[in-house]
Chain A
Amino acid sequence: MSEKITFKELVELIAKQSEQSQNATNSFIGELVQIIESGLKKSGSVSISGFGKFELRWMNEREGVNPQTGEEITIPGQNKIVFKPYKDLREQVNRPYAKLKTKVLDDTPVKKQKKETLPDDVQIKVTEKPKDERGTGKLIIPVPKLKFSPKKEPPKEDRDVAKDIEDPKVDDGEDMLIERPVPVPVPVAEPKESREEADLLPEDIFKEKRHEIPAEPIKKDEKKRAPLKKKAQKSSGMNWTYTAAAVIVAIAILIIFLMMQRTEGPAEVATTQNEEVVTPEPPAVPDPEPEQEVTVEPEAVPQPDGDPFPFELQPHSVLAGESHWTIADTQMGDPFLWPVIYELNKEQYNNPDFIRAQENLTIPSDADPDQLTDLQLEQVALGYLSVYRWTAENRPENAKYFLWAVGVYSMDILYSVENEVDANDWEFALRR
């Protein structure tokens, strides 16, 4: 956007287009400029059809401050030369953004959104469904806590639960077969458990996380999963009783919601659990082993490195006028997933703001934006993280929004980078 061509290059281009010599073109433009100037002098405006209108506008004398000395000065009245592009030019220049429409916002959500504005493209969508959000919002508020706290604070109870569900088999295996390396089952059990809980509500988590989440649950999030009511009351005293009541109500709603979810579609959970309950029974050692690997592989490793990429991939050749945003919108169904594309192709071009036409990218093909798996969510978060890293180097003032977005998709990944990121950005990223 900041590129410029020199006047000489411009003359060459025009000469080529109009099949004139460069000299002739040069003097033609010289004449044009002079006529514009004299026209402005005489009539105060010059209009060029299909392009725009130059105008003189009189600015009245006004008070000002010398920015260097802080001294108050009077700026004398003077003409300002204004260029007003005509519709053709405006539309042509704005073509990459032409699809974006102005949205009417609800009054209340706006104020919050203002605080936590995401950068350009990220933001529009945020505001797109303020209404849905309001309806479901309340129900889902505590969800992030459920989802994230076990990951963040997996120790005692979680691991116990995990063992109840998973370890029987593992333990059996260990007892019977000493060769099996001990470390394997442990990392397996842990993320699996947290994941299972999360699996309950992938859709809603995703939806909700896209919008801002009120500050309240997050704070608790930080305070970990411990008994909520007590904590709220103890730590805050009388003024907080209302808040505590609200939290209790929210939890009650959540529980009902969870139960509904469970009755509706716990297919995955049920099957995985069944498998695990069943597998320990056959004592034959070689059998459970492959089975375990099957269940574990796709889900276990939280780091993306050793992982099969969570999206199916396809090649894509960039068309003129396309951006990450539009590609993500058309191919993946949700423009907010664009960092995944960037993450996949960042070797090719370092700057996430630019892609060239004809460039061959690898892009995900199978994303279902409402049903992203945890790994896919993490992949999106990693994408945002890459964008954040790039932005932090190049446009540090905007970087924090991307860091914030990392947390929207995966708090785990956000927490994993706590020490690498700028302290202010970090603080901002936790606000929600």
Chain B
Amino acid sequence: MNYSDLIDQLAEATGNSKVKTKELLGDAISVLSDQLSKGTGVSIPELGTFTVKVKEVQKVYNPHHDAYLMVPPKRVVEFSPASGLKSELKFTGREDE
């Protein structure tokens, strides 16, 4: 499902116009990203938790250039799904198995 599908459905579900929905979603996303960029974790019920984790320096080997690289530490977003969502989707698309 791409972004416009999402907006379509969301507009339908909330009864707002698509433009309005887009704005609202944009606001929500910007608040979320703000929090995350401050390093603050955010949890959304029934969806999951977004946390920010610092990855330590890593040494990696690039076989193509035969060189060792030192990858600097970085902050990454991690998402861990809520357990309800997880079990709900556990076998989605694989019901036959």
CB within 8 A of A18: which of B23, B43, B59?
Answer: B23
Chain B interface residue bracket vs A: 35 or more
Which residues of A are at the interface with B, using a C-beta cutoff of 8 A? 1-7, 10, 13-14, 17-18, 20, 25, 27-52, 54, 56, 58, 77-79, 81-83, 85, 88-90, 92-97, 100-107, 110, 113-114, 117, 119-121, 123-124, 127
Shortest C-beta distance, B55 to chain A (Å), equals 9
Whether A89 contacts B36 by the Cβ 8 Å rule is yes
User: With a CB–CB cut-off of 8 A, which chain A residues contact B27?
Assistant: 14, 17-18
Rounded to whole angstroms, the CA-CA distance of A430 and B43 in the bound complex is 44
Chain A to chain B contacts (Cβ below 8 Å), 14 pairs: A3-B41, A7-B43, A13-B31, A17-B30, A29-B44, A37-B88, A44-B92, A78-B90, A79-B91, A82-B79, A93-B36, A105-B67, A113-B59, A127-B70
Rounded to whole angstroms, the CA-CA distance of A60 and B1 in the bound complex is 24
Whether A89 contacts B3 by the Cβ 8 Å rule is no
CB within 8 A of A47: which of B3, B46, B97?
Answer: B3
B60 nearest in chain A by CB position = A102
Which residues of B are at the interface with A, using a C-beta cutoff of 8 A? 1-3, 5-6, 9-10, 13-14, 23-33, 35-37, 39-54, 56-57, 59, 65, 67-79, 81, 85-86, 88-94, 97
Rounded to whole angstroms, the CA-CA distance of A1 and B51 in the bound complex is 8
Whether A33 contacts B10 by the Cβ 8 Å rule is no
Shortest C-beta distance, A135 to chain B (Å), equals 19
User: With a CB–CB cut-off of 8 A, which chain B residues contact A17?
Assistant: 27-28, 30-31
CB within 8 A of A56: which of B24, B57, B89?
Answer: B89
Rounded to whole angstroms, the CA-CA distance of A17 and B32 in the bound complex is 11
CB within 8 A of A92: which of B2, B36, B54, B73?
Answer: B36
CB within 8 A of B68: which of A31, A37, A110, A117?
Answer: A110
Shortest C-beta distance, B67 to chain A (Å), equals 5
A40 nearest in chain B by CB position = B89
